[in-house]
């Protein structure tokens, strides 16, 4: 079975330097995803954020734990992690992203070239990372954050 893929389009109305660009995201291999999740869990653990692990299915638990803790806790972990580790971990997410240069051939994409400013805006980088996270884990960060927000509002 092929890895999951997803096209992400930056709206023409966005007004940014990435306006109108289309990116093709491809799911990480199982080995890469497991290692990525474990490194993310380590980053969070160093920040004092603990996550439950299911010993019967640690790989699934790792991805679910990463999804449930989301970006807010990850950003908190930044203060207790060496910057180079965090940058490497975040950049690995962007390795799943290619740019579609000819929108008439949306399945033909090429690797991102930083010097070419294939991703020219910080908000695009963050959006693409969120989309990769969702593609990889099956969990939407936006939905998770909305649920957490509604739970907080009811307390």
For the whole model, what pTM was predicted?
A: 0.76
Strands 5-9 vs 97-100: parallel, antiparallel or unpaired: unpaired
What's the whole-number mean pLDDT along residues 56-60? 56
So what's the pLDDT on residue 100? Answer: 97
- So what's the pLDDT on residue 105? 93
**Three-class secondary structure of residue 28 per DSSP:** coil
Residues comprising the chain, all counted: 155
CA separation for the pair 96, 24 (Å, rounded): 8
Q: What angle do CA 10, 91, 6 make, to 5 degrees?
A: 40
pLDDT of residue 78: 63
What digits encode the pLDDT tens for the residues 72-92? 665 666 667 778 888 888 899
Domain boundaries, the chain: 5-154
């Amino acid at each position: 079975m092929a890895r999951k893929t997803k096209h992400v389009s930056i709206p023409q109305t966005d007004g940014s330097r990435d306006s109108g660009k289309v990116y093709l995201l491809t799911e990480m291999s199982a080995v890469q995803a497991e290692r990525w999740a474990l490194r993310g869990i380590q980053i969070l653990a160093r920040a004092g954020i603990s996550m439950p692990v299911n010993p019967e299915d640690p790989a699934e638990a790792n991805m679910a734990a990463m999804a449930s803790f989301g970006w807010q806790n990850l950003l908190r972990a930044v203060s207790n992690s060496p910057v180079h580790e965090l940058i490497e971990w975040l950049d690995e997410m962007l390795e799943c992203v290619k740019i579609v240069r000819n929108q008439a051939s949306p399945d033909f994409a090429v690797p991102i070239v930083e010097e070419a400013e294939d991703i020219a805006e910080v908000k695009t980088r963050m959006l693409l990372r969120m989309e990769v996270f969702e593609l990889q884990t099956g969990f939407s960060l936006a939905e998770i954050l909305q649920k957490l927000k509604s739970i907080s509002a009811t307390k």
